[in-house]
Amino acid sequence: MSSQPTGPDGLPHWQWLTVGEVARRIGLTEERVRQLIRERKIKATKIGGWLVQPNDLEMFIESRTNIPGAE
């Protein structure tokens, strides 16, 4: 069994998150997440529904952090 590279959240790099998963992770409603995607604040790809890569969610969170270097 080959080991696959993972991101900081332990998910494989190829793993996509649904709007519902993103909403639960960051404490927003699904509608607000969709709004942020439409506003291009969260990078997403539409394949059936909107999908977000974990790294793109991390970039969004970091862009909203007011303390430099804080994670």
Contact assessment for residue 49 and residue 42, using Cβ atoms and an 8 Å cutoff = no
Helix (H, G, I), strand (E, B) or coil at 47: strand
What is the mean predicted confidence (pLDDT) over 46-56? 94
Whole-structure pTM value: 0.74
Of 14-18, 43-47, 52-56, minimum mean pLDDT range: 14-18
d(CA 39, CA 41): 5
Report whether pLDDT(2) > 60: no
Scanning the structure block, which residue is given the tokens 């969709």? 34
